[in-house]
Copies of this chain bind each other. A is one copy, B any other.
Amino acid sequence: MAEWSHFNEQGRAKMSDVSGKEQTKRTAVARAVVRMKPETLSAIQEGRVKKGDVLAVAQVAGVMAAKRTPDLIPMCHTIPLTHVDLRFFPRESEGRRDFAELEIESEVSTVASTGVEMEALTAVSVAALTVYDMCKAIDRAMEVTSVYLLEKSGGKSGDYRRDEPRRRNGV
């Protein structure tokens, strides 16, 4: 098993040393899925045009959270981000007719000596929680059913791609 880069010889957590690593372009894509009642998803989708845009708020929350990642994840490096974007994909829930799903996908880039996986994961997590916050009065049982890294590129540890397609359209 690989060693723990996040612990020192006292067995205490540290921010791992990336001083000697090259500054290269690095990108990460993450995804979160929020499961809700079909009528909640409909309300979100209609809201954009009429009553209030839940996803616009979640979008801003996700972008800002990406920037706050080193304030939240203790051993995460502080790096300047060069790109943050989130996209939303509503869909029927796989295998469960009584639920709909909102998929949230983030893409984060930097030119730095370490990667941005945590920034991408934090962005979708906070966007998902924001959707929950905005809709909890109408659907308290909403659940985030998935948060994971979809792909990353750049850096010495090489590229990673989870065996799942990226979405192309959305709302």
Binding site for B on A (CB under 8 A): 1-8, 10-19, 21, 25, 39, 43, 47, 49-53, 55-57, 59-61, 63-68, 70-88, 109-113, 117-118, 121-122, 125-126, 128-130, 132-134, 136-138, 140-149, 157, 160, 162, 170-171
Q: Are B149 and A147 in contact (CB under 8 A)?
A: no
Q: Are B129 and A121 in contact (CB under 8 A)?
A: yes
Give the number of copies in the complex: 6
CA distance A117 to B130 in the complex (A): 12
User: Which of A1, A64, A83 gathers the greatest number of chain B CB atoms within 10 Å?
Assistant: A64
Interface residue from B13, B49, B70 paired with A59 (Cβ < 8 Å): B13
User: Which of A11, A74, A109 gathers the greatest number of chain B CB atoms within 10 Å?
Assistant: A74
What does DSSP make chain A's interface, helix, strand, loop or mixed? Answer: mixed
The distance from the CB of A15 to the nearest CB of chain B, in whole angstroms, is: 4
**Residues of chain B lying within 8 A (CB to CB) of residue A148:** 141-144
- Knowing A11-B53, A126-B73, say if A146 contacts B145 (CB, 8 Å): yes
CA distance A59 to B134 in the complex (A): 15
